[in-house]
Amino acid sequence: MEQIDDSRLRGIIHDRIKERGGRIPFADFMAACLYEPGLGYYTSPGRKVGAEGDFYTSINVHRVFGRLIGREICRMWEVMGCPAPFTLVEAGAGHGRLAADVLDAVRELNPELYASLTLRLVEAEPSLAEAQRQVLAEHLDRVAWNDPAELMGGTLTFTGCLYSNELIDSFPTHVVEMTPAGLREVFVTADGDGFAEQLDLPSTPDLADYFRRIDVNLQPGQRTEINLNACRWLEGVARCLERGFVLTVDYGFLSPELYGPMRQNGTLLCYFRHTIQEDPYQRVGHQDITSHVDFTTLILRGEELGLHKAWFGEQYRFLMAAGLMEELMALEAAAATEEERIKIRLVLKKLVLPEGGMGDTFKILVQAKGVENPRLLCMRDWSKLF
Ligand SMILES: C[S@@+](CC[C@H](N)C(=O)[O-])C[C@H]1O[C@@H](n2cnc3c(N)ncnc32)[C@H](O)[C@@H]1O
């Protein structure tokens, strides 16, 4: 078995624990594991997503996923009265594959919109810009790059649509546990070369407030995650978006399901070479750590910030209503053999498969600002489309 050397990052985290009086909140540990410059999972060299990486996202399944988002973006532009300039922002753009699929679709479906838009890539790892440039070679005159701090700081103002795929699940989360004495937070301490956990009073009142706002009462013994970074991120997005839409694709639930008594141990998981791991204290900086998104909080916080829920539902509903069957028929018509056609059907099925498949594990939330009653493609009754 390949030996993984994670000693440098372990050392840095140990030093940090010492400097901060012997412990750090789990959120700070997770932030180091994922984003420590040069050493974190997302901020170190190597392919993370796809066959050579640790997990797949919908983008790797088929370009139709991006095409359908592109179709919806064309509709958004129309319902907004065709504004120019129109800006797309992709947050957490990774290697740029989704951006390329979206731009291919918009160029084909709506050349007028394509000619007036700029797609701004916002990615925490700046070295990915080179890969993005290659993937987006055909679209370089339509693409620009921005720093995540501009989004968080509210300085990247735009009219258009900000979209993301599997971004919010990668934000560092606090971990809390309900004890007979009340809500406690998980802190990480040093334990020899490794790490141990300590439960104590929460490091910030925001954690108890978070549950109060969504009326959640954990059961004794129940442990879960709280993604305060998701709220901060949405606040930045709301400041930046002057008019338009926020389209968020991620795995997650509404809060009654995410924080319900059936989920005693939360949703924190690690991914390493396409296997699910449960121990975040192993392979430090070499495995992904994620948690499911609380869409109730995104919806409620969005309403407070002027981002009104336009649509929320499972990925399969969105894709079907946005035109998956039309895309499938076009692909089948272009296929040379029956074998190819079967292959296309099987691949596209992955995007919509329910019962734990991508189709219902992933949810899509569309929020609108300054657009009254938008009639989007995802709102169509897809059972009547064919
Ligand atoms: C799970 S990956 C998803 C990548 C891509 N969207 C996909 O679906 O394949 C999450 C990506 O978001 C980036 N990221 C994390 N926090 C970010 C932030 N605040 N702003 C921009 N990008 C961020 C990470 O560096 C990583 O590339």
Question: How high is the mean pLDDT in each 10-residue block of the chain (386 residues)?
Answer: 83 98 98 96 80 76 94 98 97 96 98 98 93 97 97 95 97 98 98 97 98 97 98 97 98 97 96 88 95 98 98 96 93 93 89 81 97 96 76
In a domain, 138, yes or no: yes
Judge residue 217's burial from the number of C-beta atoms within 10 Å of its C-beta, 0-12 exposed, 13-18 middle, 19 or more buried.
exposed
| 267 in Cβ contact with 181 (< 8 Å) | no
Strand order in the sheet with 288-290: 275-277, 269-272, 288-290
In the block, tokens 């701004």 appear at 120
Q: Is the CB of 94 under 6 A from ligand 1?
A: yes
Q: Say how far apart CA 55 and CA 52 lie, in whole Å.
A: 9
Which DSSP symbol is given to 218?
Answer: P
Q: Considering the domain boundaries, does residue 245 fall inside one?
A: yes
- Let me know if residue 3 belongs to a domain: no
Is the CB–ligand 1 distance for residue 122 below 6 Å?
yes
**Residue 184: what residue type?**
R
Strand, helix or coil at 134? Answer: helix
Instruction: Determine the distance separating the centroid of ligand 1 and the alpha carbon of 92, expressed in angstroms.
Output: 3
**How far is 233 from 247, CA to CA, in rounded Å?**
14
* Cα of 127 from ligand 1 centre, angstroms: 13
Domain with 191 in it: 20-384
* 79 Cα to the center of ligand 1, angstroms: 29
CA separation for the pair 99, 124 (Å, rounded): 16
Q: Is the CB of 170 under 6 A from ligand 1?
A: yes
Task: Identify which of 150, 169, 170 to mutate to test ligand 1's pocket (most ligand atoms within 8 A of the CB).
Answer: 170
CATH of the domain at 282: 3.40.50.12710
How much distance in Å is there from the Cα of 186 to the middle of ligand 1? 25
| Helix, strand, coil distribution of the chain in percent, nearest 5 | 40, 25, 35
Residues 6+ apart with CB under 8 A from 164: 90, 91, 92, 247, 248, 249, 250
pLDDT of residue 386: 67
- For ligand 1, say whether the CB of 236 is within 6 Å of any of its atoms: no
| Three-class SS state of 92 | coil
The pLDDT value recorded for residue 15 is 98
Q: 167 CB under 6 A from ligand 1?
A: yes
Residue 8 belongs to a domain: no
Separation of alpha carbons 239 and 369, rounded Å: 11
CA distance 50 to 58: 10
Q: Whose CA is nearest to atom 12 of ligand 1?
A: 92
Specify if 5 maps to a domain. no
The pLDDT, as a whole number, for residue 60 is: 84
Total residues found in the chain within this entry: 386
For residues 99 and 136, give the distance between their C-alpha atoms in angstroms, rounded to a whole number: 8
Instruction: Give alpha helix (H) positions in 36-137.
Output: 58-61, 64-79, 97-109, 111-116, 128-135
Establish whether residue 35 lines the binding site of ligand 1, counting it when its CB lies within 6 angstroms of any ligand atom: no
In a domain, 115, yes or no: yes
CA 366, 370, 371 angle in degrees (round to 5)?
60
Kindly state if the Cβ of 54 falls inside 6 Å of ligand 1: no
Give 60 Cα–ligand 1 centroid separation in angstroms. 15
352 ligand 1 Cβ < 6 A: no
Q: Does the Cβ of 49 fall within 6 Å of ligand 1?
A: yes
Domain contains 60: yes
Work out the angle at residue 52's Cα, subtended by the Cα atoms of residues 50 and 57, and round it to the nearest 5 degrees. Answer: 15
Domain-embedded: residue 11: no
Number of structural domains the chain divides into = 1
User: Given ligand 1 and candidates 42, 58, 152, which is best to mutate, with the most ligand atoms within 8 Å of its CB?
Assistant: 42
